[in-house]
Amino acid sequence: MTTATLSLVGVTRRFGALSSGGSVAVDGLTLDVHPGELLALIGASGSGKTTTLRIIAGHEMPDEGRVFLDGRDITALPPRQRGFGMVFQHYALFPHMTVGDNVAFGLEARGVPKAERRERAARALANVGLANAGGRQVQSLSGGEQQRVALARALIIEPKVLLLDEPLSNLDPTLRRTTRDELRAMLHRLGVTALFVTHDQEDAFAVADRVALLERGRLLQVGRAEELYDRPATRSVAEFIGRATLVPARVSGDRAVLTIGGVARDVHVVMPNGETGDGSRYAVLRPDALEMADPASSGGWPGTIVERRFAGALLAYRVALAGDIEVEVHTTERGREIGESVGVRISREPVAVV
Amino acid sequence: MHTPNKTPRKTLRFPVPVIDPIAGSRGPSAIRSLQSRTLLLAAPVIAILAWTVVYPNISVIVGSLADGARAWKEFFASPADREAVVSTLIVSVGSVIAATLIGVPLAFLLARFEFRGRRTLSAIATLPAALPPLVGVVAFMFLYGESGVVTRIVQHALGLERAPWSLTGLWAIVFVHAYTMYVYVFLFVSAGLERIDTTLDEAAEGLGASRAVRLRRVTLPLLTPSIGGAMLLVFMSALGSFSAPYVFGGGIRVLSTQIVASKLNGNLGLAYVETTVLALAAIVGLVVLRRFERRRSYAMSGKGRQTRVVVTSPLARALLPALAIATVAVLLLPHAMVVLVSFARDGAWTTQVLPPEYTLDNFRRMATDPALWVPIRNSVTMALIATAANVVVCFVAAYLIVLRRFPGRRLLELLVAIPWAIPATAIAIGLASTFNRNDPLTLRVLLVGTFWILPLAYFIRGIPLVATAVEGSLKQMDPSLEDAAHGLGGSWLMAVRRVILPAARPGLIAGALLAAVTAVGEFVASIVLYTHANRPIAVEILAQLRSLAFGTAAAYSVLLIGLVLTITLLARWTEGRMARSGSPVGA
């Protein structure tokens, strides 16, 4: 399958006049998707993910900026000439056609003879584990099957880039977890360049090679999932990705002093994007980088457990520290109870500051 | 965890052209080509609708001012016109009250209670709407007119010398309207009740609300938009109603009949003024109704589960089926009466309760006598022509309205809705005032007095019916289907052929059948515009009635009812087939 580099340069899309309550859906977005890469576009509702995807697909025009494919400007190219595959959020399967006709539609549009269409559609369906489903009606499919048909339909045209709009959001949680593993495996096997939009960071982490986080149409950070988690570029990223408690920190060099309730601790920190400079910042305390200790032991902040939640392999405790600060601690320790006095200390350094 | 409608719907559409000159000049060609195709499609459709729908109305308004304000002064000074305005309002308000009083309880009864006879009653409840306008009036004449069957039975039973009532005047008009128009209220309220999630009621009950409190605080507020919309619809129908006032008015004048009278008297200026007043009132009604409809759909969550209470009280168990049978009888009586009279020998039925002689002659003559066959051929031909035009124009219009964004979309929406609001009399007067001479400069073509004026009138009346139905179908379609077709490399034509048309098909068929039904039985515009050569069935029925050939008139009516029923059943059948073969996946 062909691979390509997709680039967005300064893409901006406004809806309505700004003066009369319009809004900027996408704001100066610049982003590259490398050959064979799975890039996830994440963000809250209204962050401009879907509009970005529609601009890439050609269903929407940017007011400013350019879209390039392998260095060629495709901003003005109609969707049908881009040769992208798209999986829509609700799949957009043609309800009046059979599964086979749906999958073969892109070939029909390219004037591929009927016999070949049928054969290739059958193969595409077999590829997504739906061999022999070609004659079925779209309505008879389950949600997961519809998703796979939509994928087969998008892949049959050997797309230069595959676009997926919330492909997992209509699946129930169990199916969702297996589907996303399958999706990742399949896309990697085919080596297809793919961009997928989701509001669910777990989906993004599970499927994508890199993650781009949008907020109000702006790109906050793009990188591998752990980069966004461990070294958030801004406070918004730190708050959006994973769980975190932000604690005031005085930075000097690669160390900082965190003071909670008068108890100061000196930690090794890492600045976003290799920034330098001393001053007041916030330290990002992640639940998995904290541990419990005896209230009296040194190196910890004293607090009280206020909430206890079983989270599979780990237990999640919420601990109220002094000064109205609450942190969450993920640990394998199971014996602690609500109301217990504990100490909380940092177990993994460096700590990110934003 | 998914968030429906997280992007405003307009982001799913193509952008309207940017007016910013810089942005416009470098406007990308892809969307521009789609945009120009949209405009290329929209221009002729808007032109056709502007020419046939708007232009005649403007022509009427201009005509009303032809003599300066003379015609308007005459209108305001004329006692007859003042009376007509007052009567029109009384008839309209009276019809609303009567239709609501019948429609709302009936809808509640059928939606909320289970009792013997419920199924039959709900199958019959909408039947009055299936009567072509003039046929309903004719049936009422046979039943409740001065020499009608029911009237005679009451007269004999009470031993009266004269008929106990005469079916004339305001109350007679309201009586007929109540019968035909309660169906709107019934349908709206039934649909409203169906949409209400009964768990809302259960929630209120769980919170301790009594049945009366639940009705007052939960059900009725949720239904207000439905009831209000239906009442407005009845008001507008009654406002423009012509058949009932024309036949039963007696000395009563209403605006619609007054218009025709003024035209026949040769006072065209006055007729134009009256038409303008009536059309304006209707447009105001349309605007208010649209406002209402926008507010109508409370976001009902859940599946709207329906539960019917099984009636247990012994008294109600005994009374309800009897009431249901009586209601069914009243509803069916007009149809039955028309069928009965269609077998009566013309001229034999005078003072008897029921026609004394029966024969198949009326139908035989209709099939053999060319003079009697002509109206049938006319109606069917003209309805087919009008419907074919409706299908083409309305499909394009609905496609543009639902799936495209372009300047003029709102205008198109309005153009499509106008003929629905404007009373048929006003449409007819507009056509008569516009297409009465050949004048290329003012875009006039001589159609009055030719065959083509009636197909044109039927076409105009059919526009909102077909367009609304197609819009309904297309709105159910997930708009990303068209994007998907384009994204997979399909050309615009391929997307239309393989995706849009199939999605529009149920509405296209239902709308076309409805338009055909309406056109075949059309009376109001026809009576103003027909010539002897293209006289349709409804006009012929009136002519037969005037010559006291009740049997022949009834036979025509039966034929019309038969046509309407056939087409309606055909529509249901295709709908059922569509439903089985799958409805579009909603977004």
Give yes or no for residue B21 having a pLDDT over 50.
Answer: no
Whether chain B has a CB inside 8 Å of the CB on A86: the answer is yes
| Whether the predicted pLDDT of B26 surpasses 60 | no
Tell me: do A182 and A289 sit in the same domain: no
Contact B2 A46 (CB under 8 A): no
| Chain B contacts in chain A segment 268-327 (CB below 8 A) | none
A139 and chain B in contact, CB less than 8 A:
yes
With tokens 């929209």, the residue in question is: B42
Query: How many beta carbons lie within 10 A of that of residue A354, not counting itself?
Result: 21
Please tell me whether residues A174 and A259 are part of one structural domain: no
**Nearest CB neighbour to B11, from listed A25, A92, A137:** A25
Distance between CA atoms of residues B150 and B557, nearest Å: 20
**Phi, then psi, of A168 in degrees rounded to 5:** -105, -5
B502 and A CB contact within 8 Å: yes
pLDDT > 50? residue B25:
no
Q: Is some CB atom of chain B closer than 8 A to the CB atom of A153? A: yes
pLDDT greater than 90 at residue B387: yes
Pair of tokens at residue B122 = 């709900």
**A199 vs B: CB within 8 A:** yes
CB of B21 within 8 Å of any CB in chain A?
no
If asked whether residues A176 and A45 sit together in one domain, one would say yes
Question: Are B318 and B115 a contacting pair, CB within 8 Å?
Answer: no
Of the pLDDT bands very low, low, confident and very high (cuts 50, 70, 90), residue A161 is very high
Q: List the one residue out of B313, B256, B211 whose CA is nearest residue B91.
A: B256
| Domain final residue, candidates A179, A198, A230 | A230
- The verdict on a CB contact (< 8 Å) between A109 and B488 is yes
Alpha carbons A140 and A137: distance in angstroms, whole number: 5
On the question of pLDDT at B290 being above 60, the answer is: yes
Residue A6 pLDDT: 93
The answer on A277 and A215 residing in a single domain is no
Question: ∠ CA(A69), CA(A75), CA(A81), 5° rounding?
Answer: 70
Task: Give me the CATH number covering residue A251.
Answer: 2.40.50.140
**Which CATH number describes the domain made up of B359-582?**
1.10.3720.10
* Distance separating alpha carbons of residues B428 and B444, to the nearest angstrom: 15
Query: At B280, is the pLDDT very low, low, confident or very high (cuts 50, 70, 90)?
Result: very high
**A50/B11 touch (CB, cutoff 8 Å), yes or no:** yes
More confidently predicted of B316 and A339: A339
Asked if residue A118 lies in contact with residue B505, where contact means CB atoms within 8 angstroms, the answer is no
Please tell me the CATH code under which domain B57-299+316-342 is placed: 1.10.3720.10
User: What is the average pLDDT across B190-211?
Assistant: 73
Closest CA of chain B from A200, distance in Å: 8
A152 and A30: one domain? yes
Q: What is the ipTM of this complex?
A: 0.71
Percentages of chain A per state (helix, strand, coil), in multiples of 5: 30, 35, 35
Do A112 and A165 have their domain in common?
Answer: yes
The mean pLDDT of B440-445, rounded to a whole number, is 88
The mean predicted confidence, pLDDT, of chain B is 84
**Which residue of A lies nearest to B11 if distances are taken between CA atoms?**
A51
Chain segment A231-277, per-residue pLDDT in tens: 999 999 999 998 899 999 999 888 999 988 888 889 999 988 778 77
Give the pLDDT confidence score for residue B430 in this predicted structure. Answer: 94
In terms of domains, do A261 and A219 share one?
Answer: no
The mean pLDDT value for B47-75 works out to 91
CB distance from B15 to chain A under 8 Å? Answer: yes
The CA distance from A77 to A61, in Å, is 10
pLDDT, mean of residues B23-34: 46
CA distance A138 to chain B (A): 9
A15 touches chain B (CB under 8 A): yes
Equal CATH topology for B57-299+316-342 and B359-582: yes
Contacts of A110 in chain B (CB under 8 A): 489
- Domain coordinates in residue numbering, chain B: 57-299+316-342, 359-582
**For residues B92 and B528, what is the distance between their CA atoms, to the nearest angstrom?**
22
- B-chain CB neighbours of A93 within 8 Å are 585
Inside any domain, residue A236: no
A204 and A332: one domain? no
Q: Is residue B36 less than 8 Å (CB to CB) from chain A?
A: no
- Give the integer Cα–Cα distance in Å for A257 and B44: 74
Say yes or no for a CB contact (<8 Å) between B6 and A50. yes
> A20 or B317: whose pLDDT is higher?
B317
Residue A21 has pLDDT above 80, yes or no: no
> How much of chain B, in percent, has pLDDT values that exceed 90?
40
Q: Quick check: A86 and B11 CB within 8 A?
A: no
**Chain B residues touching residue A109 (CB < 8 angstroms):** 485, 488-491, 494
Share of chain B above pLDDT 70, in %: 88
Residues in contact with B85: Cβ distance below 8 Å, sequence separation at least 6, in sequence order: B255, B277
- Neighbouring CB atoms inside 10 A of B300's CB total 12
Length of chain B: 587
The CA distance from A109 to the nearest CA of chain B, in Å, is 5
A341 and A291: one domain?
A: yes
Q: Which of A182, A202, A230 is the last residue of a domain?
A: A230
| Inside any domain, residue A235 | no
* Per-residue pLDDT band at B32 (split at 50, 70, 90): low
Query: In which band, very low, low, confident or very high, does the pLDDT at B366 lie, cut at 50, 70 and 90?
Result: confident
Length of chain A in residues, anyone? 354
Name the nearest CA neighbour of A347 among A275, A270, A288, A302. A288
Q: What percent of chain A has pLDDT over 90?
A: 52
Give the mean model confidence (pLDDT) for residues B125-147. Answer: 86
B-chain residues within 8 Å CB-CB of A86? 483-484, 487
The pLDDT of residue B67 is 81
Q: Which residues of B touch A197 (CB under 8 A)?
A: none
Residue of B nearest to A146 (CA): B585
- Interchain pair B489, A63: CB under 8 A: no
Q: Which of A230, A252, A279 is the last residue of a domain?
A: A230
User: Residue A92: closest CA among chain B residues belongs to which residue?
Assistant: B481
d(C-alpha B195, C-alpha B189), whole Å: 10
Which residues from B are below 8 Å from A81, CB to CB?
30, 489
Average pLDDT over residues B533-541: 94
Q: Measure A80 CA to nearest chain B CA, in Å.
A: 4
Say what the pLDDT of residue A19 is.
63
pLDDT at A172 over 90: no
Q: Give the pLDDT confidence score for residue B50 in this predicted structure.
A: 94
The arithmetic mean of pLDDT across residues B289-302, rounded, is: 60
Q: How many domains does chain A have?
A: 2
Chain A contact for B352, CB < 8 A? Answer: no
Of the pLDDT bands very low, low, confident and very high (cuts 50, 70, 90), residue B579 is low
Site from B38, B488, B578 to mutate, A interface, most A CB atoms within 10 angstroms:
B488
Contact status, residue B549 vs residue B366, Cβ threshold 8 Å: no
Q: Which residues of B touch A90 (CB under 8 A)?
A: 478, 480, 585-587
The predicted pLDDT at position A193 comes to 92
Q: Which residues pair with A14 in a beta bridge?
A: A24
Q: Taking the CA atoms of B163, B167, B168 and B170 in sequence, report the sign of the dihedral they define.
A: positive
CATH code where residue A143 lies: 3.40.50.300
- Tokens, residue B470: 């197609």
pLDDT at B323: 86
Do A181 and A271 reside in the same domain of the chain? no
Q: For A109, which of B29, B30, B490 is closest by C-beta distance? A: B490
Q: What is the pLDDT of residues A203-237, one digit of tens each?
A: 999 999 999 999 999 999 999 999 999 999 999 99
Q: How would DSSP label each residue in B368-380?
A: H-HHHHHHHHHHH
Shared domain check, A289 and A226: no
Distance CA B184, CA A147 (A): 42
pLDDT in tens, A114-159: 999 999 999 999 988 899 899 998 888 988 899 999 999 999 988 9
- A237 within a domain of the structure (yes/no): no
pLDDT at B142 over 80: yes
What does the DSSP assignment read for A22-73?
-EEEEEEEEEEE-TT-EEEEE-STTSSHHHHHHHHHTSS--SEEEEEETTEE
Hey, which residues does A279 pair with through a beta bridge? A251
Domain that holds residue A330: 243-353
Burial class for A84, CB neighbours closer than 10 Å (0-12, 13-18, 19+): buried
Do A225 and A274 share a structural domain?
no
Per-residue pLDDT averaged across B420-428, rounded?
92
Q: Lowest mean pLDDT of A97-106, B85-94, B215-224, B227-236, name the range.
A: B215-224
